[in-house]
Amino acid sequence: MHWSLRKKRILKFLFAVRKNKMALTGAVVLAAFILIAIFGPVFMPFSTLDFGEVEDILNPPSPKHLLGTDDMGRDVLANLISGARISLMIGGVATAISMGIGTLIGIVSGYFGKAVDNALMRFTDFFLVIPWLPLMMVLAAILGTSLWNIIFVIGITGWAGTARVVRSQTLSVKERQYVERAISVGAGSGHIMARHILPNVFPLVFANTVLVAAVAIVSETTLSFLGLGDPTTASWGMMLHYAFESGSTSAGAYWYYLPPGICVVLVVLSFTLLGYAFDEIMNPKLRKR
């Protein structure tokens, strides 16, 4: 019985997404990339470890190599597809970490207020004002360049904005009468935060997640491009890094550096479109009449 209600709501939400052109574009592009990330490698005629002969180095697009080859004679399309998997994975996991930290700090800070709020918010301010790129670079350099370190670094630097937004909403929600009622019924702080406040701030968290995911993917690309990525993985950022290092820009090998760049832009754009659209769908005040 509960499930059918929930299903109805989800369908209603999906319908709203379908009617919103921004959301639809974002969702379609993103879905395409996710499908490529999951199933793409199965259909690839080349492995990312297929180093060609000397004459295969930096070949322009041809029927054999649709997007040409890189400076080591590997197929660019194969790299691009396996990069999708890694870039999306890093983006996804780092976003989950960010949202977890941000939501937790935001709710706890807003709910308890006073000294707790002050301490947590000053901590948040620190992460908010410190230039994130140098911070990430320093952290990545100290921790060493592995896939999980990159995820960790992006995750713990990207939560501050979410914490702020969630805190402000919590401040409003905790004063509602149903929270007072729950307290009088005998609910403890943990119960109230988990059962009453979290569901009420969740739409905000959800809309924020999508925007944070976009930032996470850009961050990954940036770090990798600067040479702080995991050298054993072929993310889009690493591709750009190698493309730049091998001088493909001056060599005019556009097929090497353009595809990963375009992919990053498309994924980030689709996340951003979805984020704004969700905000519009879930916040009736922004809805067009």
In degrees, to the nearest 5, what angle opens at C-alpha 272 toward C-alphas 143 and 230?
25
Instruction: Assess contact for 88 and 267: CB atoms under 8 A.
Output: yes
Distance of closest approach, residue 289 Cβ to other proteins, in angstroms: 20
Number of other CB atoms surrounding residue 268 within 10 Å: 18
CA atoms within 13 Å, Cβ hemisphere of 77: 18
Q: Which residues pair with 75 in a beta bridge?
A: 69
Distance of closest approach, residue 163 Cβ to other proteins, in angstroms: 21
Q: Which is nearer to other proteins, 125 or 180 (CB)?
A: 180
Distance of closest approach, residue 58 Cβ to other proteins, in angstroms: 57
Q: Which is nearer to other proteins, 181 or 287 (CB)?
A: 181
Distance of closest approach, residue 178 Cβ to other proteins, in angstroms: 4
Distance of closest approach, residue 187 Cβ to other proteins, in angstroms: 6
Q: Which is nearer to other proteins, 168 or 200 (CB)?
A: 200
Q: DSSP assignment, residue 60?
A: P
Sequence-distant (6+) residues with CB within 8 A of 205 are: 99, 102, 103, 162, 166
Side chain identity at residue 230, one-letter code: D
> What phi and psi values does residue 75 have, to the nearest 5 degrees?
-70, 125
Q: Which is nearer to other proteins, 88 or 197 (CB)?
A: 197
Q: What CA–CA distance (Å, rounded) separates 248 from 68?
A: 12
Q: Which is nearer to other proteins, 44 or 198 (CB)?
A: 198
Q: Which residues sit at the interface with other proteins, rule CB under 8 A?
A: 1-2, 5, 176-178, 180-187, 191, 195-196, 199-200, 202
